């Protein structure tokens, strides 16, 4: 469904491009020179919209794809956590377990990110009516949720039977993006100005949390105790391990500028990022596509001269 929507949007932009090409041919040389001079200078912008992260790195948070960094076994193999989980389930679910408590049954291996909010700012330097240099910074916070199933045996004497419980693993991360690139704008129509962009990207990713959530209680799957086993009330120092790192890639975008005045405009834009995110999943790190759907508020440098 998402791919079909993207296709129709790109088709609409392509139609606008083809319409403006015929209009562009009607401009005289003097009109083109005037447009070149008129459009030189800086634009500043703020943008916000939706960011869709590729599901490949979402599986990093399932607790089994990279156990040296994120491991569900840090929770289920810890006797203190297991006892706490057993007590929680018995209290909230009103059940009685046998002495073995819970056992890990299945972990989801097809996790996806929720659609995320992205915001940022940037500048555009126009060399002429068509060609520009772009610089931008943006940030997105992503969340992914996957399913985990546990089994346990009912401890009611004479009525022992296996039971299944479903809970979640939740991962959260912060992504920062810096891009430098070029942009080509078509100035054949003053009211609708199609453009496309191509940029190189540098990104940084930081894992903020990765938790097994049972009955609204969060159990960390990250190594929060520097390799030591969690023991309650033992005075262990909790750390915040840095997971993630720097990556990069390329970005392409299509959009339309809608001017309201000489200095203010809106730009709806669709972007495809083909990027490397520094998370290892099942012993692999890959470049994968990610998507932006954004609106920019453009402010020209002339507004500051008034």
Domain residue ranges in the chain: 2-305
Q: To which H or E segment does residue 81 belong?
A: helix 79-93
Give the pLDDT confidence score for residue 15 in this predicted structure.
54
Dihedral sign of CA atoms 46, 180, 183, 14 in order: negative
Give the pLDDT confidence score for residue 232 in this predicted structure.
85
Domain 2-305: which CATH number of 2.60.120.1060, 2.40.160.20, 2.60.15.10, 1.10.10.60: 2.40.160.20
Q: Which segments within the chain are labelled E, that is strand? A: 41-52, 97-107, 116-126, 131-154, 162-185, 193-214, 217-220, 244-259, 264-276, 287-300
Nearest one of 224, 209, 216, 208 to 168, comparing CA atoms = 216
Residue 58 region by backbone torsions, left for phi larger than 0, else alpha for psi between -120 and 50, else beta = alpha
Residue with tokens 């890959």: 286
Per residue of the chain (306 residues), what is the pLDDT tens digit?
Answer: 545 555 555 555 555 444 544 444 456 767 667 666 677 889 999 999 999 999 999 999 999 999 999 999 999 999 999 999 999 998 888 888 877 788 899 999 999 999 999 999 999 999 988 899 999 999 999 999 999 999 888 766 656 566 788 999 999 999 999 999 999 998 767 789 999 999 999 999 999 999 999 999 999 999 998 888 888 878 788 888 999 999 999 999 999 999 998 889 999 999 999 999 999 999 999 999 999 999 999 998 766 544
Give the pLDDT confidence score for residue 278 in this predicted structure.
96
Give the pLDDT confidence score for residue 162 in this predicted structure.
67
Q: What is the pTM of this model?
A: 0.84
Give the pLDDT confidence score for residue 20 in this predicted structure.
47
Rounded CA separation 127/186 (Å): 13
Cβ–Cβ contacts within 10 Å for residue 188, how many? 19
Residue pair 157/108 in contact by the 8 Å Cβ criterion: no
Rounded CA separation 104/126 (Å): 59
Beta strands 116-126 and 41-52, pairing class: antiparallel
Residue 190 region by backbone torsions, left for phi larger than 0, else alpha for psi between -120 and 50, else beta = alpha
Give the pLDDT confidence score for residue 6 in this predicted structure.
54
Give the pLDDT confidence score for residue 226 in this predicted structure.
84
């Amino acid at each position: 469904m998402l791919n079909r929507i993207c296709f129709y949007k790109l088709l609409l932009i392509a139609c606008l491009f083809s319409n403006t090409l015929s209009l562009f041919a009607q401009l005289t040389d003097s009109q083109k020179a005037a447009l070149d001079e008129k459009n030189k200078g800086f634009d500043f912008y703020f943008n916000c919209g939706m960011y869709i992260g590729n599901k490949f790195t979402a599986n990093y948070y399932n607790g089994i794809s990279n156990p040296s960094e994120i491991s569900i076994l840090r929770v289920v193999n810890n006797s203190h956590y297991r006892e706490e989980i057993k007590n929680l389930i018995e209290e909230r679910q009103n059940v009685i377990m046998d002495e073995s408590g819970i056992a890990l049954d299945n972990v989801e291996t097809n996790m996806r990110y929720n659609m995320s909010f992205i915001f940022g700012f940037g500048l555009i330097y126009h060399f002429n009516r068509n060609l520009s240099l772009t610089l931008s910074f943006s940030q997105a916070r992503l969340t992914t949720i996957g399913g985990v199933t546990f089994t346990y045996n009912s401890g009611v004497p004479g009525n022992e039977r296996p039971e299944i419980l479903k809970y979640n693993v939740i991962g959260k991360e912060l992504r920062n993006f810096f891009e430098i690139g070029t942009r080509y704008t078509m100035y054949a129509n003053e009211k609708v100005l199609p453009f496309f962009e191509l940029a190189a990207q540098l990104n940084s990713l930081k894992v903020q949390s990765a938790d097994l959530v049972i009955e609204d209680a969060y159990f960390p799957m990250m190594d929060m105790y520097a390799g030591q086993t969690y023991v309650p009330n033992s005075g262990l120092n909790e750390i915040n391990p840095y997971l993630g790192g720097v990556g990069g890639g390329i970005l392409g975008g299509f959009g339309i500028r809608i001017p309201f005045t000489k200095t203010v405009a809106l730009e709806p834009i669709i972007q495809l990022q083909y990027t490397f995110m520094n998370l290892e999943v099942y012993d692999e790190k890959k470049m994968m596509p990610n998507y932006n759907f954004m609106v920019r508020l453009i402010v020209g440098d002339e507004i500051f001269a008034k």
